[in-house]
Amino acid sequence: MRFVDRVTADGADGWPVEAGRYRLVINRACPWANRTVIVRRLMGLDEVISLAVTDPIQELIAGEVHWVFTAETGSPGGLDPVLGVHALRDSYLKRDPDYDGGVSVPGLVDVPSGHLVSNDYDQLTLDFGSEWKRFHREGAPDLYPERQRDEIDSVNEFVYRDVANGVYRSGFAPSQASYDRAVRILFDGLDRLEDRLTRQRYLLGDHVTEADVRLFPTLARFDAVYHGHFKCNVRKLIEYPALWAYARDLFQTPGFGDTTHFDHIRRHYYGVHTAINPTRVVAVGPDPAAWLTPHFREQLGGSPFGDGTPPEPPPAIDRVPVVVPL
């Protein structure tokens, strides 16, 4: 991760908070990008930071795969209507013409210059929740309360190491031994989360925090792609009573399910990882409508936003297909 400038209220890095100036480039299949869109929604920054969505299938350009804009994701003619570029890499190169590294999403781009500001997905969500406060909607939650930061950081470190990154270490393991080790650590981690969430509604207790935002995208992708495609098949998410109910609770909370695009998730993972799926055949299940079944987590008490309120529905341009109830 090379581009780690911050957009701050005081503009200390040269990038001041300013409505309409920045564009968040994501892919809806990417769990790290999904996190930034969730926080953008929860804080009410939909109209303040514009959203650009790349195609679920990366395009081969000069021998390398790239996140590109297509008509399917709102870019007629293959150019993002705001940035005027075909590939996110163009914004990397505007910032540094000599850049020859990889390109990742999410990316926060300065619209006037076209320069990439940051691809630091961890810091982006924290800054959306703190540095952009003067543009937060009324009732926006505090996802990173100061009194809980040490515990949130500890949970986040564990979730990333053993679970969120654990599915990738399992799926791309180069040997049987490394796979066996990775998948054991992954399911040990899921077992720990199951135990924790049996006793409380959210990871830190009664309200949603940054920790829940970071875990949810992995759970949303688990049965759809990680279980089969990444060989994480010791158990399915639906076989964990507390984790599955917790995941449904979050999915049915504004900001989570309405930023989750199951079609893009399946098409991306099965379509681009040709080393582990050379046929590029895309699995059709599981039925996403199961995410709308009752979860009963309210019986544990608490509420998602504490003293805050849920965000309004996303603007039409940002909406994903609605899941139809069973």
Set 30, 202, 226, 270: catalytic member: 30
Kind plus residue range of the DSSP H or E element containing 8: strand 7-8
Residues forming beta bridges with residue 116, ordered by sequence position: 109
Domains held by the chain: number = 2
132 known member of a binding site: no
Structural domain includes residue 181: yes
Q: How many helices (H) and strands (E) would you count in the chain?
A: 10, 8
Work out the percent of the chain whose per-residue pLDDT is above 70: 99
- Helix 210-221 vs helix 149-158: angle between axes, to the nearest 10 degrees? 20
Q: Is 115 found in the same domain as 56?
A: yes
Q: What's the number of CA atoms in the CB half-sphere (13 Å) around residue 70?
A: 11
Q: What is the CATH number of the domain that holds 19?
A: 3.40.30.10
* Residue where a domain terminates, one of 107, 135, 163: 135
Does residue 144 carry a catalytic annotation?
A: no
Structural domain for 201, as ranges: 146-315
Q: What is the CATH number of the domain that holds 228?
A: 1.20.1050.10
Whether 292 and 192 have beta carbons less than 8 Å apart is answered as no
State the Cα–Cα distance between residues 323 and 30, nearest whole angstrom.
19
pLDDT tens track for 246-270: 999 999 999 999 999 999 999 999 9
pLDDT tens track for 4-28: 999 999 999 999 999 999 999 999 9
Structural domain includes residue 150: yes
Q: Is 151 found in the same domain as 119?
A: no
Q: Is 302 found in the same domain as 156?
A: yes
State the Cα–Cα distance between residues 40 and 35, nearest whole angstrom.
9
Q: Is 279 found in the same domain as 150?
A: yes
Predicted confidence band of residue 63 (pLDDT cuts 50, 70, 90): confident
pLDDT at 164: 98
CB 225: neighbour CB atoms within 10 A? Answer: 23
Does residue 168 carry a catalytic annotation?
A: yes
Question: pTM for the whole thing?
Answer: 0.97
Set 22, 99, 144, 168: catalytic member: 168
How far from the centroid of its chain's Cα atoms is residue 281's Cα? 24
Q: Where are the alpha helices (DSSP H) in 148-272?
A: 149-158, 166-171, 176-199, 210-221, 227-229, 241-251, 262-272
Q: Is 309 found in the same domain as 196?
A: yes
State the Cα–Cα distance between residues 246 and 78, nearest whole angstrom.
39
pLDDT at 321: 87
